[in-house]
Amino acid sequence: MMDKLLSIVLPSYNEERNISKATERIGRILREENIPYELIFVDDGSKDHTWLEIERASERDPHVVGVHFSRNFGKESAIFAGLSNAVGACTAVMDCDLQHPPETLIEMYRLWEQGYEVIEGVKRSRGEESALHRMSAGLFYRIISSAVKIDMSRASDFKLMDKKAVDALLELPERNAFFRALSAWIGYRTTSVEFDVREREEGESKWSTWSLIKYAVTDIVAFSSAPMQLVTIAGVFMLFFGFCLGIQTLFRYFTGHAVEGFTTVILLILLIGSMIMISLGIIGYYISRIYEEVKGRPKYLISKKVGSTRGE
């Protein structure tokens, strides 16, 4: 049975009301389809009773495995912890708030059986969002798409991957891993299935505007050095500007009108000063990311585990 086993990774942060629901709903569908499975809930340092719910679910249902983080490490870390604890021949990642429909999972599994190694869940619709949110998400995905060279505008974290692809992902040494883009970066025989994002039934989304901005900046920096090249482009632009202004200044000097132009000096100091500071900031941000990577701290720390489907 192990060679058909489907592991499902469910990152969970403050999802006490979704654990048993997800266990039942996903379990029912997979049993109907006769697919052997395990559910790996990764409790990302929840502040509510999520872990208690996972323990209970695992007592009731031997398919449930739980991993508990020592604190909140973020969804990306939770995904990677789940992947490295999965024993299946293929592993799926989905949200435990049931926004990713379990029916699509079946479709993905069938495609895996046909020999596909990475099956990406693609959003048919983006669900309810404000105009501002849609615009900034659009900008973010344009930058990321050009960095990965694959259209990411409808990408999601809902995927199913063959063990080979999972192992390839786990071998990547970087700390700051952006799962959504890395799964495309590794290549392999890839296909996609469309799904409709469902409304969240219980609890609320964990994303504030600020955390989304932080997430976007981190991921862009993790995948692209384009912002640093902006510094060079700005420099070239300033050089050109300086050249023109230099000619004008010299011309004035030789025609005897050199005292004027104090406004220009002030404006130039302000402009150049702010550009240098922004540039240093961008470079500094990359250095801080390099510093994070060099420190080599683990992506996450596991404090507790429950259940095991190993050797069944």
Contact yes or no for 33/106 (Cβ under 8 A): yes
* Shortest spacing between CB 91 and ligand UDP, in angstroms: 16
| Cα torsion 94, 207, 170, 64: sign | negative
Nearer Cβ to ligand UDP (34/208):
208
* Shortest spacing between CB 14 and Mg ion, in angstroms: 12
* Shortest spacing between CB 15 and ligand UDP, in angstroms: 5
Quick one: which of 38, 53, 97, 157 contacts Mg ion (CB under 5 A)? 97
Nearer Cβ to Mg ion (164/206):
206
Query: What residues between 48 and 77 interact with ligand UDP by CB under 6 A?
Result: 72, 74-75
Give the up-direction half-sphere exposure of residue 12: CA atoms within 13 A in the CB hemisphere: 35
Quick one: which of 78, 92, 166, 193 contacts ligand UDP (CB under 6 A)? 78
The token pair at 173 is 């040494």
3-state secondary structure of 1: coil
Give the up-direction half-sphere exposure of residue 161: CA atoms within 13 A in the CB hemisphere: 29
**Residue 307 binds ligand UDP, judged by CB under 6 A:** no
For the chain, list the strands marked E by DSSP: 6-12, 37-43, 64-69, 90-93, 118-125, 155-162, 190-196, 302-306
Helix (H) or strand (E) holding 61: none
Query: What residues between 239 and 268 interact with ligand UDP by CB under 6 A?
Result: none
Choose the contact partner of 15 out of ligand UDP, Mg ion, none; CB within 5 to 8 A by kind: ligand UDP
Helix (H) or strand (E) holding 152: none
Q: Report d(CA 168, CA 121) in Å as an integer.
A: 19
**Residue 95 binds ligand UDP, judged by CB under 6 A:** yes
Q: Report d(CA 239, CA 255) in Å as an integer.
A: 24
Query: What residues between 14 and 43 interact with ligand UDP by CB under 6 A?
Result: 15
Q: Report d(CA 240, CA 140) in Å as an integer.
A: 30
Quick one: which of 110, 206, 252, 299 contacts ligand UDP (CB under 6 A)? 206
Choose the contact partner of 74 out of ligand UDP, Mg ion, none; CB within 5 to 8 A by kind: ligand UDP
The token pair at 143 is 């930058």
Choose the contact partner of 76 out of Mg ion, ligand UDP, none; CB within 5 to 8 A by kind: none
Contact positions toward Mg ion, by CB under 5 A?
Answer: 95, 97, 99
Contact positions toward ligand UDP, by CB under 6 A?
Answer: 11-13, 15, 44, 72, 74-75, 78, 95-97, 99, 205-207
